[in-house]
Amino acid sequence: MEGISIIVITLNEEHNLPHILGDLERQTVKNFEVIVVDSQSTDATVEIARSFSGRLPLLIIEMSGRGVSLGRNTGAAQARGERLLFLDADTRLDHDFLEKAGEELETRRLQIGGVYMKCHATLPLASIGMRIFNFASWLGQRVFPMAAGACLFSTRTAHARLGGFDESIVLCEDCDYLRRTSKEKISFGMLNQYYYFHLRRLEQDGVFRMGWTYIRANLHRLFMGELYGNPYRYQFAHYDNSAEVSNREV
């Protein structure tokens, strides 16, 4: 696998960041760099990131503003690898994730690859909801692509051609990114790989409320276009930041 730049965006992730960085430290392949892009955290996130400096090839960027798309674009601008992997700080990865995903990306010659999600289910209906989302991602990958930006592969070349993530879109900015791949003739597909999704938004918003938010958002996208601004007033980063990803080895 070619060298990869892994961009991890953070905002008050002192409880979760050590887990994903530990997962990266244990990967079976080592030819990668990690770029932590912080959105003005007020906890110990940055200090914890610095504690991994001797264990991972690590760059830490402290932004003067906040924003998911801004963070991803900022990290991509500093990436040295051609292959990019965008991660949220609360994701978890199996120890051979990079090896298997890299092989599949090369075999299928994909520039951009989505990843299916799974979880250590603690909520009724959570696993069912994820299966539905995974099925919708598989079904729509050629016509109406959708995948979670929490774990998304790209390349510097493709990212530049797409103009990066649209920083004016708050909800479904990752799906907008994928939608533009068709226009730019950039190869995209869902990988037969999984990452572990954190349930904190489901736990605090509720499965039905969160599900309805994304169903409504994608119906809007399908019939009315992208959600510029935040028309549904969805609030991110409102969850309890003491919520921690399971320490269970994945």
* Alpha carbon distance 148, 172 (integer Å): 8
Residue bearing the bigger pLDDT, 120 or 246:
120
pLDDT in tens, 234-246: 554 544 444 444 3
Task: List the chain domain ranges.
Answer: 4-224
Mean of pLDDT values over 23-33: 96
pLDDT in tens, 132-143: 889 988 998 888
* Alpha carbon distance 164, 72 (integer Å): 8
Q: Which residues contact 228 (CB under 8 A, 6 or more apart)?
A: 166, 168, 169
Residue bearing the bigger pLDDT, 131 or 12:
12
pLDDT over 90, % of the chain: 60
- CA 80 to chain centroid, in Å, comes to 19
Q: Quick one: pLDDT at residue 112? A: 97
What is the number of alpha carbons within 13 Å of residue 16 lying toward its C-beta? 25
Treating both helix axes as pointing N-terminal to C-terminal, what angle do 173-183 and 207-224 enclose, rounded to 10 degrees?
30
Q: Is the pLDDT of residue 191 over 50?
A: yes
Beta-carbon neighbour count of residue 2 at 10 Å? 12
Q: Quick one: pLDDT at residue 249? A: 41
Residue bearing the bigger pLDDT, 63 or 124:
63
Mean of pLDDT values over 171-185: 88
Query: Where does residue 224 rank: exposed (0-12), middle (13-18), buried (19+ CB within 10 A)?
Result: exposed
Q: Quick one: pLDDT at residue 243? A: 43
Q: Output the average pLDDT for the chain.
A: 84
Q: Quick one: pLDDT at residue 233? A: 54
Residue bearing the bigger pLDDT, 200 or 27:
27
Mean of pLDDT values over 196-215: 61
Q: Quick one: pLDDT at residue 43? A: 96
Q: Is the pLDDT of residue 247 over 50?
A: no
At 226, is the pLDDT very low, low, confident or very high (cuts 50, 70, 90)? Answer: low
4-224 folds as: Spore Coat Polysaccharide Biosynthesis Protein SpsA; Chain A (3.90.550)
pLDDT in tens, 67-109: 999 999 999 999 999 999 999 999 999 999 999 999 999 999 9
Q: Is the pLDDT of residue 123 over 80?
A: no
